[in-house]
């Protein structure tokens, strides 16, 4: 739908340079607006004239409020367990490993986690900002994974701990849940959804 920037709302998806960008913020002035847009992990901002023409590919209001994904395909909220299982399979879609293997089979002495290695990782990092979340020498045993922080704990819980408890409503609480689950598993009082060991480096 061709219209003007004056008709654009936050959450709408607009066509810019042949690509679809989601409007993250739009702050109007009298005759112009400061607009922030995003596309596949990239973001940009610019000032536009409200009378300038633009094509709206999707309206934010077109998707029901509770939909997991917005009209542009972006994820709008955390997936419920049944939604996750429908896509990835029960338990998150990767082998669960051996819960009796409390200790890592060997000391991880490979390359550091914080830098991409190999052409595939470098390309994913460049295009999407994606980083490796785990590596295994034997999936039947478990995975070596990097230590978590506030920027990675949510994804780590979702993938390796079976999901994020409803009570863990922010990253600080998620880190506490993560520590407690590992402590319980080390005492034999619980099992991790996917067996894994945190390490400074990748396995050799």
- CA separation for the pair 95, 194 (Å, rounded): 7
Whether 100 is covered by a domain: the verdict is: yes
pTM over 0.85: no
Residue 35 lies in a domain: yes
190/103 same-domain check = yes
Q: Tell me which DSSP letter residue 178 carries.
A: H
Same domain? For 56 and 98 the reply is: no
Supply the range of the domain harboring residue 135: 81-198
Residues 92-146: tens digit of each pLDDT = 567 888 888 888 989 999 999 988 888 888 887 787 777 788 999 898 899 999 9
Q: Is the dihedral of CA 69, 71, 73, 75 positive or negative?
A: negative
Q: Is residue 56 part of a domain?
A: yes
Pair (94, 166) in one structural domain: yes
* Residue at 115 is within a domain: yes
Vertex 37 angle, CA 33 and 40, to 5°: 175
Q: Is the same domain home to 96 and 10?
A: no
Same-domain check for residues 18 and 52 = yes
| Residue 107 shares a structural domain with residue 179 | yes
Count of the separate structural domains present in the chain: 2
Q: Are residues 53 and 89 in the same domain?
A: no
Segment 140-183, tens digit of pLDDT = 899 999 999 998 999 899 889 988 888 888 899 999 999 999 99
67 in a domain, yes or no? no
Banded model confidence at residue 84, pLDDT cuts 50, 70, 90: low
Q: Are residues 32 and 106 in the same domain?
A: no
């Amino acid at each position: 739908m061709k219209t003007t920037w004056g008709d654009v709302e936050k959450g709408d998806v607009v066509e810019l340079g042949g690509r679809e960008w989601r409007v993250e913020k739009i702050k109007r002035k009298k005759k112009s607006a400061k607009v922030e847009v995003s596309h596949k992990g990239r973001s940009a901002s610019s000032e536009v004239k409200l009378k300038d023409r633009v094509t709206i590919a999707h309206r934010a209001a077109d998707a029901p409020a509770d939909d997991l994904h917005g009209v542009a395909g972006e994820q709008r909220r955390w997936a419920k367990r049944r939604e996750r299982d429908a896509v990835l399979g029960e338990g998150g879609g990767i082998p669960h490993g051996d819960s009796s293997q409390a200790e890592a089979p060997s000391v991880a002495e490979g390359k550091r986690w914080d830098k991409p290695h190999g052409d595939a990782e470098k390309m994913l990092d460049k295009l999407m900002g994606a980083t490796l979340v785990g590596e295994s020498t034997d999936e039947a045993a478990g995975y070596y994974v990097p230590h978590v922080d506030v920027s990675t704990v949510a994804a780590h819980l979702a993938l390796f701990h079976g999901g994020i408890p409803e009570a863990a409503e922010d990253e600080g609480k998620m880190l506490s849940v993560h520590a407690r689950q590992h402590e319980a598993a080390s005492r034999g009082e619980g099992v991790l959804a996917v067996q894994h060991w945190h390490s400074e480096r990748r396995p050799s």
